Amino acid sequence: MLKTPVAARRRVVDRIAQTGRRLAGLVADAAAEQERTLATLHEVLAHHGVTPQAFSVDTLDTKARRAIARARLVVSVGGDGTLLSTSHWVTDGALLGVNSAPRSSVGFLTSTRRTHLAKTLAAIASGALQPLLVSRLAVEIEGEHLPPALNDVLIAHENPASTSRYRLRLGRRAEDHRSSGLWIATPAGSTAGIRSAGGEVMPLTAHRLQFRARELYRAHNPNAALETGFVEPGQKLVVESAMTAGWLYLDGARTNARFPFGAQAHFRIADAPLRLFADAAKWDAAG
């Protein structure tokens, strides 16, 4: 699964060329490093007798999704966004993230880069390197199942300056919120948006979800019991929209769904975890 570099996207190339600034150099460097990473990947896979199928993360059609679902090993080449979008369609296979531009990309979820590819794939081939079982987030809106989220889900008004209104229910507790939005995160995503909102970093292999309201309006609800908390195995977090223009964003902005007034969304730990090549110590250090 391949990222489309910014320098290769339509209508962006001309704007970059006109800037003549440092940004243009950074974008060009990232695109060149992406090409070098792809060349190295193909070379290493050929050494192992593997001919890969290549797809762009920006054009994931039915054929690509089925191929990813059937694959025993899926390799994402890009950053965290590429890996997250790819993870939605991985079923029984394992996912390896390659940070194709480590100088400009965080790549927290990725586990290797071009200079380490040969060593990493050799370890996978020999069985010396095994994937971890990482919990995913199952999302259902009005009976429709969305792809499982690896990182998080954000519920918010479509206008970031508007108040996000919703009703939250966990077990026997329920309350109405007015906030800037609601984060629901997996352990893998606990170092991302929810942490910036004051959430807790969880061990990567933990088997629970975490939720947290952003900038909760306390005058409306001074004794909120569900401002933050955890969803344990067997539990379900239910959120009802009180927004005419609410949205649900899954693992970033690329995958989203309308969440209009009165709609209900259910969140729980997905039945099938993701087999992800990752270093759990990064999450322990972040905590």
Domain boundaries, the chain: 6-130, 137-275
Catalytic residue at 80?
yes
What local confidence, expressed as pLDDT, does residue 18 receive? 59
* CATH architecture under which domain 137-275 falls: Sandwich (2.60)
Q: What is the pTM of this model?
A: 0.89
In this structure, the number of other CB atoms found within 10 A of the CB of residue 160 comes to: 9
Helices (H), 48-173: 62-70, 80-87, 117-126
Counting as low any pLDDT under 70, the low residues of the chain are 1-27
Q: What is the dihedral of CA 117, 151, 203, 135, to 10 degrees?
A: -90
Helices vs. strands in the chain: H and E counts, helices first = 7, 17
What local confidence, expressed as pLDDT, does residue 4 receive? 64
User: Which candidate in 80, 251, 271, 279 is catalytic?
Assistant: 80
What local confidence, expressed as pLDDT, does residue 180 receive? 97
* CATH architecture under which domain 6-130 falls: 3-Layer(aba) Sandwich (3.40)
Burial class (CB within 10 angstroms; exposed 0-12, middle 13-18, buried 19+) of 244:
exposed
What local confidence, expressed as pLDDT, does residue 33 receive? 87
Q: In Å, how far are 49, 78, 98, 151 from 256, measured between CA atoms?
A: 38, 21, 25, 14
